[in-house]
Structure 1
Amino acid sequence: MREFWIIFKQAFVTKAKTKSFVITSAVMIAAIFLFANVSKIIDVVQNVTGGDSEETLQVIDTSGVLVDKLNEQFNVNEKAITVELSDKTEQELMKKVEEEKIDSFLTLALDDSNTIQANYTTMSATDFSLPSKIQDALQTIQTEMKAEELSLSGEQVQTLFLPIQFEQNNISPSAKSENELNQARVLVYVLMFVIYFAVILYSSMIATEVATEKSSRVMEILISSVSPVKHMFAKVLGIGSLGLAQIALYGIAGFIAMKTAATEIPGGFSDFFSFSDINKVTLLYAIVFFLLGYFLYATLAALLGSLVSRTEDVQQMIMPMTMLIVVAFILAASGLGNPELGYLQITSFIPFFAPLVMFLRVGMLDLPVWEPLLSIAIMLVTIFLLGWFGARVYRGGVLMYGPSRSLKDIKKAIQLGKE
């Protein structure tokens, strides 16, 4: 075991000390804190740059009454917007907009049925905020005018917009509460991205590390002093542990960032990611499926990496593995809206899809215990068989040199390992 731990330590420490690892970790942690505090940053930038400065809206009002009502609405809800009645014609204001002397203008009128007719003119292709605010204000004015026509009081108008009382009772044995379902959906979505990027990044790192040692002929020296099986699993566990440590670091940084950026506003960012209604068993399943999926793909990556002798060939060799995790991601994403789909039930027991698909079902449905346990058992057996088969391929693959001819080299590696 001494040789195993030496290789394990070398794989872990060497990668941890590289500039790329340190810089990537620092950038990601900074990005996490930036994302958690983005609302505060926007407020500071607006205060510095004058993002809340007053905006003047030129209005042509043929009705003679709407401009004052619109100004009153903005004084209550949008004090940064000032409405100014224009004495120019529509053609004159149109020319000013084209010459970029003003940003926009609004034309107001009332038709025969006393319905507001509004026309907003601008040159900006991304001007969406102000028109939306104008439309909301005019809709309120329209409601008030129609209420006056019908001699309705304020209380009577409010009763027109009262929401109905609607409750949903789901008697399905696999159903969860709305809060549990929403937070489970967030947790599943987060885990999907974590597994996806972890597999893509760290599995590629394992395969590249093996190919690098082969290309430098270091592998021949290592294999003479330690068995290929020990070398393979030491690499998988060494770089795998480094990846887990980095992910844990990101998790701690994210937790601290959310706590320091937490607001008292109900339903805010911190409430969204609080997971307060998530069952602790669901969190346990998240950890289990992540670890099993992570090491399943890491073992496969080491197997494939042993077949190439040039780092340039690594991405081509691990492409089938990458496609597997992409398909798993697509399957899980398609089930976020309806996790009871038939094909999800089937694919949740396929080991290369189970880390994402089965956890999707566990997180969003109350499944019988035997289903996730059976999926976990299938994954454990698959990891064992893949490790056993991978060791046979690895034993001969690390001694193979020359251009790789894709997965056909597996048979050659097994035959070379027997010799």
Structure 2
Amino acid sequence: MSTIVVLFTRDLRLHDHPALHSALSEGHRVVPLFVLDPAVLAGAARNRIGYLVEALADLREALRERGGDLVVRKGDTVTETMRVVTEAQADSVHYSHDVSAFATARSRRLDAAARGAGVRTRSFPGVCVVPPGEVRPTGGDHYRVFTPFWRAWEAVQWRQAHPAPTRVAIAETVPVGRLPEADLADRWGVGSLSPDRGRGGETIAREAVRAWLASGLESYPQMHDDLAADKTSRLSAHLRFGCVSPLELARVARGRPGGDEFVRQLAWRDFHHQVTAAFPDLNRRDYRPRDTPWRDDPTGFAAWCEGRTGIPVVDAGMRQLIQEGFMHNRARMITSVFLTRKLLVHWKAGADHFHSLLVDGDIANNYGNWQWSAGTGNDTRPNRQFNLMRQAKRFDPQGEYVRRYVPELAGVAGAAVHSPWKPEVESEGYQLPLLEL
């Protein structure tokens, strides 16, 4: 019986894990492996590292329930993977394909190191519903506009979702290593730990999916932009870490009441991944360069980061981010448009700040959406105008969202909280200067 090392990265689940399923379905012993790589941990959001620690503990427990275990190593991913290959006398390494510049370079190094050792590597889908590159426009390497991508994406016959294994036969010669402690976030991370961050792991993620399907999906088309209602799925962090399979989620939601609109959002996620696969500098430079007169505004940027701009709906969104490591999708658009189109601060500064706090921080989606907001990305109307006050009144008509996250305004009635704040109507404790627009 041969042995296969299954390298986990951001696919921290047992349900619908093609790389693991392939290894086990052929009757092989496996070594489930996760490497705590300083190149990944250094500078990562404390919130994401906190989620990771919980997800790894949950994954190990699930593997042990099936007779296996999770091997944990610390160091360079390629070096440690090849060391485990030697320890286990493995002849193959399986991993899930990913699209960021770092992940792509890591895969190339791993493939080269394995070839040099006479070991096979195989990459599998699992991060997206439709793998990047599976649909392409005629004469191009990727879709630059969402609508034609969406049509092609819908026409693809999706693969079947794999069940979780009932038994995992592990090579017993490999020491499993210790799980990371909770202080890993403090030792490596950036940004603050959000007090109301959601917990991580496949067990919690699947419970969240069941609850969402039962009580949230049907109303999603009507309610997902309602700031106060908070009727989005809140599954983004679970998708980012692969504790939920995007394909399994799309399959179970498709065709249900409200499901098609939700599945369209999963297509948007895939869209940004195929853009990133073709343009790996998405988090560094303009996808579509424009002559925007960016400003250096440290005072305005600091006020924006801290949720003290004097624009209540903007401040509410930024404070939600600090408090939860999450922000409502409509608030993300409002806050990013305010920074890039009103204050004219470069999109990368805002995207990097988001990335330092978001539990669901993902290169493709975070930076892709920021470039869309700034007019440098995949928006077909890069010069579109946004009236932020109208947005606030439309999607938080009674001001409930604002009062939830800006408690200084708790005593201000109804939509009055959406007025640009003037000294004569300031609420006690909300003494913020209105930034010049």
Q: TM-score per shorter chain, which class?
A: under 0.3
Q: Counting helix residues as a fraction of each chain, which structure ranks higher?
A: 1
TM normalised by structure 1 equals: 0.18
> Highest CA radius of gyration, 1 or 2?
1
TM normalised by structure 2 equals: 0.17
